[in-house]
Structure 1
Amino acid sequence: MALNTNPNLTRPDDFYEALIDMHRDLDDGQSEALNAQLILLLANHIGDHGTLLSAMQLARAGAVQDRSAKA
């Protein structure tokens, strides 16, 4: 399964609002645990190892690029 990196959310603003609301009133540790649980649920839903590896590589590259841009 190829990783779809094109915009694909039917209601992106509503999704973003729900994502922010999901973290409301949580401390940092709870928020990190929530993110981890969400990642694992979505990874399980995707299921394809190659697709997940592609997503992980793109996410890491983006994080490294963001960090170097701030330096």
Structure 2
Amino acid sequence: MTLNTQSNLARPDDFYEALIDMHRDLDDAQSQSANAQLILLLANHIGDHATLLEAMRHARDGVADVSARNGKARPLAA
């Protein structure tokens, strides 16, 4: 399975709003736990190890790109 990085949400604004609502009234630890649970649920749904590894690489690269744009040092690759 190839990772689809193109826009694929039928209602992206509604999804974003629901994602923000999921975190409403949660403290930082609860918010992190909710994110972790969501990630694991979606990873289980995807199921393909190679696709999940590719997604993790994209996510890490995205964080590094944001850090570089903000003038911070880019983290070393794992």
The TM-score with structure 1 as length reference comes to 0.98
Q: Name structure 1 gaps, 5 residues minimum.
A: none
1:43 deviation in Å? 0.2
Aligned match of 2:36? 36
Q: Secondary structure at the match of 1:8?
A: coil
CA RMSD of aligned residues (A): 0.5
Runs of 4+ in 1 over 4 A off after TM superposition: none
Q: Name structure 2 gaps, 5 residues minimum.
A: 72-78
Percent sequence identity is 69
1: CA distance, partners of 2:45 / 2:61: 23
The number of equivalent residue pairs is 71
Paired letter, 2:23: H
The TM-score with structure 2 as length reference comes to 0.89
